[in-house]
């Protein structure tokens, strides 16, 4: 497809359905195979999700051959864009040497040493395959170490599909996230408001000395892509210390993204334990739980007393994820100032550019985020998950589809991420396309009002 980005291109823009008939047909087939036609709930959107056939750099192509500048970037895992050469050569090398050992290897050790070098809290760690596993292990470790039961998480905080932490994720943050999850299984998970230290204090006080960890994403992700306010993480550090609980960060999105050392380095607040994933695997499956030597020593299988049993799993430290992760983390460390300076600048330009483009067209929108992360909200300027949930979801959906019609992709309703593969021109094109979509949205709104 022609790249239809940009204001003024609006008349030539075909509708999503016209552009994506192959995806529509594949989704009809997929509904007969997969639950709801998808393999991750976040991947469904109306009228049907686009099916991708290939990806390279900042681009993805759908099954109709349409090319999009991709800001979903594989759930924000791809900081160097799709299939960067540094990763594909490491993978090619590794495929010739074996794809699954089920043993320790020099490769995994070297990745672990890189993580030790770069992530402030990571004195020791354990690898696994997904973020959900890592957060589950983190909770178990925190409980084993403190010998306490409760975990305070934040409303809107998404920590993967594990049973216990699947609580307080969606508005109104108090009801169940779905059937099949027992209240008893989540009885020891308490929810506090993000960016509200007093509410965390309340939740900790209510737990009466039984808090194992205060656990949060330093930039609330699915809950609205909202950065921690100045001083908030420091206050949580104090609250955790005062309560004898661990401070735990979920850095599965922010790790290696906000800075080389993640949010803990960017904010200058070092947690006791943290999870990593996404970027750390260089585009292949990974999860990590890391933290102080003392906490991680609880998971030493040679330990006689007080052993905390956490994974691994069959495919932990699989050589392909290790090779891709190592190539990525080394590249990021070696090119640190250029990479993070560039991502920060492009992210800021995109956020402010989109907001001015939309507001100039009469659309009330606020793009939140930090570093290379962004999410455009309609009708609200949120500081926590509750204010984010009050935004106009239908407008956010129209905007995302409108952007796809103009050759740009974000997963509707989810944060986007700039990668090093995105160019200055891509950012300007995204802003121009936002202006065109905003104009279209405003025209439709006005014609509805006058009808």
Smallest separation (angstroms) from ligand PLP to the CB of 247: 16
Residue 414 touches ligand PLP, criterion: CB under 6 A: no
**Phi and psi torsions of 383, nearest 5°:** -120, -5
Encoded one letter per residue, x for contact with ligand PLP by CB under 6 A and - for no contact, window 173-212 reads ----------------------------------------
Could you give the 3-state DSSP secondary structure of residue 132? helix
Residue nearest to ligand PLP (CB): 131
Encoded one letter per residue, x for contact with ligand PLP by CB under 6 A and - for no contact, window 241-280 reads ---------x-xx-----------------------x---
Closer CB to ligand PLP, residue 25 or residue 43? 43
Residues in the chain: 451
- Identified binder of ligand PLP from the candidate list 81, 84, 160, 261, rule CB under 6 A: 160
Closer CB to ligand PLP, residue 160 or residue 262? 160
CA 94/CA 1 separation, integer angstroms: 36
DSSP symbols for 354-394: HHHHHHHTT--EEEE-STTEEEEEES---SSHHHHHTS-HH
Interacting residues with ligand PLP between 99 and 158 (CB under 6 A):
130-132, 135, 158
Smallest separation (angstroms) from ligand PLP to the CB of 196: 19
Smallest separation (angstroms) from ligand PLP to the CB of 251: 8
> Tokens in use for 424?
């200055």
CA 104/CA 113 separation, integer angstroms: 14
How far lies 80's CA from each of 71, 161, 257, 355, in Å?
12, 26, 10, 25
Smallest separation (angstroms) from ligand PLP to the CB of 249: 10
Smallest separation (angstroms) from ligand PLP to the CB of 279: 11
Residue 311 touches ligand PLP, criterion: CB under 6 A: no
Could you give the 3-state DSSP secondary structure of residue 246? strand
Contacts by residues 167-172 (CB-CB < 8 Å, ≥ 24 positions apart): 167/191, 169/222, 169/223, 170/389, 171/385, 171/386, 171/389, 172/389
Q: Give the torsion through C-alpha atoms of 49, 55, 61, 62, to 10 deg.
A: -30
Residues that bind ligand PLP (CB under 6 A): 75, 130-132, 135, 158-160, 217, 221, 250, 252-253, 277, 287
């Amino acid at each position: 497809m022609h790249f239809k980005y940009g204001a003024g291109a609006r008349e030539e823009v075909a509708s999503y359905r016209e552009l994506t008939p192959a995806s529509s047909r594949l989704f009809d087939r997929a509904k007969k195979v997969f639950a709801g036609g998808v393999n991750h709930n976040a991947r469904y959107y109306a009228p049907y999700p686009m099916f991708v056939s290939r990806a390279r750099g900042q681009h993805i192509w759908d099954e109709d051959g349409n090319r999009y500048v991709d800001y979903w970037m594989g759930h924000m895992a791809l900081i160097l864009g799709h299939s960067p050469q540094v990763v594909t050569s490491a993978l090619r090398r590794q495929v010739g040497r074996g794809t699954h050992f089920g043993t320790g290897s020099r490769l995994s050790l070297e990745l672990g040493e890189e993580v030790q070098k770069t992530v402030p809290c990571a004195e020791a760690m354990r690898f696994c395959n997904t973020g959900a596993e890592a957060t589950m292990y983190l909770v178990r470790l925190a409980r084993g170490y403190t010998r306490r039961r409760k975990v305070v998480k934040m409303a809107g905080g998404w920590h993967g599909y594990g049973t216990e932490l699947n609580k307080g994720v969606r508005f109104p943050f108090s009801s169940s996230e779905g059937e099949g999850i027992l209240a008893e299984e989540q009885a020891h998970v308490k929810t506090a408001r993000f960016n509200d230290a007093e509410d965390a204090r309340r939740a900790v006080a209510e737990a009466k000395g039984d808090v194992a960890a205060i656990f949060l994403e330093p930039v609330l992700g699915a809950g609205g892509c909202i950065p921690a306010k100045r001083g908030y993480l420091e206050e949580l550090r104090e609250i955790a210390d005062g309560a004898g609980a661990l401070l735990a960060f979920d850095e599965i999105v922010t790790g290696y993204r906000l800075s080389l050392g993640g949010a803990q380095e960017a904010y200058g607040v070092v947690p006791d334990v943290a999870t990593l994933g996404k970027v750390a695997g260089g585009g292949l499956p990974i999860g990590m739980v890391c933290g102080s030597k003392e906490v991680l020593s609880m998971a030493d299988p040679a330990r006689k007393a007080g052993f905390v049993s956490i994974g691994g799993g069959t495919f932990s430290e699989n050589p392909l994820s290790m090779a891709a992760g190592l190539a990525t983390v080394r590249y990021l460390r070696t090119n640190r100032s250029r990479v993070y300076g560039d991502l920060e600048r492009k992210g800021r330009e995109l956020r402010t550019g989109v907001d001015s483009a939309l507001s100039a067209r009469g659309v009330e929108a606020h793009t939140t985020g930090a570093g290379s992360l962004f999410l455009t909200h309609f009708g609200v300027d949120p500081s926590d998950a509750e204010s984010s949930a009050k935004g106009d979801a239908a407008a956010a959906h129209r905007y995302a589809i409108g952007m796809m019609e103009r050759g740009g992709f974000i997963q509707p309703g989810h944060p986007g991420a700039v990668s090093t593969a995105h160019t200055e021109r891509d950012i300007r094109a995204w802003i121009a396309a936002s202006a065109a979509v905003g104009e279209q949205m405003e025209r439709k709104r006005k014609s509805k009002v006058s009808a």
